[in-house]
Amino acid sequence: MGRDKSHSLPPAPVQSQPHCAHAPLVELWRRREFLPWEFQEAIMVHLGQHLMKHYHKSHLVIRFALGGCANRPFYRIVVAQNKRARDGKYVEQLGCYDPLPNDHGEKIVGLNIERIKYWLGCGAYSSMPFQKLLGLAGFFPLHPMTITNAERMKRRRAREAAAVTEAASVTQEEESAAKD
């Protein structure tokens, strides 16, 4: 029983240099009709993400999906197609993020690290805000701009504190001069 070849995927473009780690599997996929079905299934599982990006010009991204209401944002951390709308359909929810501080000054984050590792292992891309969040969580190295922004905030607060102390000393001098 042969399969109808009119419904098969178009052949991958021929390249002289392998462009990714999946190049041997891509070559096997091109010759799939000569392989037993069990091997074809295994290749399809391993090449799923690569083939989807290659044939559909899209890929999976781990990113924030906005929720909540006006002046009260809330984000779901989701795996979605890169061409989908920000708040549109997603494959799986991996966590949540509340950017507004609570009564104790904490921003709440919930992450499913096992599933994040799984999706990153499958070849999902991650958005820059999500990478920064994972850097703060200790999963990735800190993003350089995170460190730079923290240093800028530290300098700004030091300048503000110096300005306040200077203003306080000036008012004390004026009060002592007024008493004399």
Q: CB neighbours (10 Å) of residue 76?
A: 19
pLDDT for 142-170, tens place per residue? 878 888 888 999 999 999 999 999 988 88
Give the tens place of pLDDT for each residue, 23-78.
Answer: 565 565 555 555 555 655 555 555 555 555 555 556 889 999 998 888 999 999 99
Is 58 in contact with 83 (CB distance < 8 Å)?
A: yes
Angstrom distance (rounded) from CA 176 to CA 180:
7
Q: What is the pTM of this model?
A: 0.56
The C-alpha atoms of residue 114 and residue 13 are separated, in whole angstroms, by: 35
Confidence label for 138 from pLDDT (cuts 50, 70 and 90): confident
